[in-house]
Amino acid sequence: MMRRIGTFPIVVIVLVAVYAAAKWGIPAFSRQVTGLPFPLPVPGTLMLFYMTLAVIALFLMVTFSEEGLTDFLRPIRKLLSGGYGQIARGLVLLAVPAIAAWQVYELTVPRAQVPASLRIQHPSSNFPVSSEGLHNPFDEPPEDEINVFIEQARANEVIFDPQVQDDIDAWADEWDPDHILEFLAAAPVKEFLTQLENDEVSHDIAEAAYREKILFEGRALYAMNCRACHGDSVAGDGPMADGFKLRPINFTDNGTIETIVVGYTFWRVENGGPGLPTEATPWDSAMPEWKLSLTEEQRWKIIQAEYDLAEKTPRIPEGHE
């Protein structure tokens, strides 16, 4: 005849099985279902739920009949009356309070914790004061730069930023336009082209057209270099944005590029996350160090486009009108 398993071992086996299923079984199963490279752990409160329900069910089972209870208590009585030997009894009587004491100690012992600290988004400790008065050279393009642009446009030889030139050349090859600037649909550019044809160029229209060209280059450079993180809408929601604990900045938010002087924005773009002082921790900024891969001129063009796309203006430095 098969030996019957007692009620006590069954209770222990069921408790261990329920615990193991909740602790490791469900996370492993969740991984199969979600296909994610990590398991979804069962929250502590839910663990408590499962275990409490298991204990209640076992309690009902054990106390259902007088025999059940007697069967359950039999090994305990046997142990306490020395049926398993003096040594076994002594060990259990020591182990139970020892485990309880260890649990209480674990719960109450104070732990060293890193104090919570707020991140300073605009640390200024290593921002060079000399940068504060910087302004974007494309805000007010100098006279001779505009004259060069007019000459280039007259000869239909407008030169673009090297990062966008290839695409514009490809476009020109395909469409064979009368003038290279035709791809810019903005009104000032159209007017400028008409004036060029009639050979009566007004300086103001030329300047407006030149600004459109700079903005175009800035937007294109933004799309190529910054969009992945800061997003099409410059709202910090690019396709890569969710991957960073410290989210790429939302430029349309009033607390970002509008609250800082443009020299500061320039410095931030130039030095990226690696250039930030410790006040800007505890999370590392993924913002790249753009001085390594973009020229100063390219960075100013992008900043011009960045403020334009966000419909913001930089803060005016102290003591400047």
Provide the binding-site residues for ligand HEC, judged by CB under 6 A: 121-122, 225-226, 228-230, 240, 244, 246, 248-249, 256-257, 260, 265, 268-269, 273, 285-288, 290, 302, 306
171 CB neighbour count, 10 Å cutoff: 14
Our CA angle for 192, 197, 203, nearest 5°, is 35
CB of 140 to ligand HEC, least distance (A): 21
Cβ-proximal residues to 173 (8 Å cutoff; 6+ apart), any chain: none
Residue whose C-alpha is closest to residue 69's, from 60, 81, 80, 78: 60
CB of 315 to ligand HEC, least distance (A): 11
SS3 assignment, position 27: helix
Q: Are 307 and 313 in contact (CB under 8 A)?
A: yes
Residue whose C-alpha is closest to residue 214's, from 143, 311, 304: 304
CB of 225 to ligand HEC, least distance (A): 4
Cβ-proximal residues to 250 (8 Å cutoff; 6+ apart), any chain: 230, 234, 235, 236, 237, 256
Nearer to ligand HEC by C-beta: 205 or 287?
Answer: 287
Nearer to ligand HEC by C-beta: 189 or 221?
Answer: 221
Nearer to ligand HEC by C-beta: 73 or 228?
Answer: 228
> Using CA atoms, how far apart are residues 76 and 60, in angstroms rounded to an integer?
19
Nearer to ligand HEC by C-beta: 85 or 274?
Answer: 274
Residue whose C-alpha is closest to residue 226's, from 310, 170, 136: 310
Task: For the chain, give the number of residues.
Answer: 321
CB of 29 to ligand HEC, least distance (A): 35
CB of 230 to ligand HEC, least distance (A): 5
Nearer to ligand HEC by C-beta: 213 or 312?
Answer: 312
CB of 317 to ligand HEC, least distance (A): 16
H or E element in which residue 134 lies? none
Nearer to ligand HEC by C-beta: 197 or 284?
Answer: 284
CB of 186 to ligand HEC, least distance (A): 22
Nearer to ligand HEC by C-beta: 177 or 239?
Answer: 239
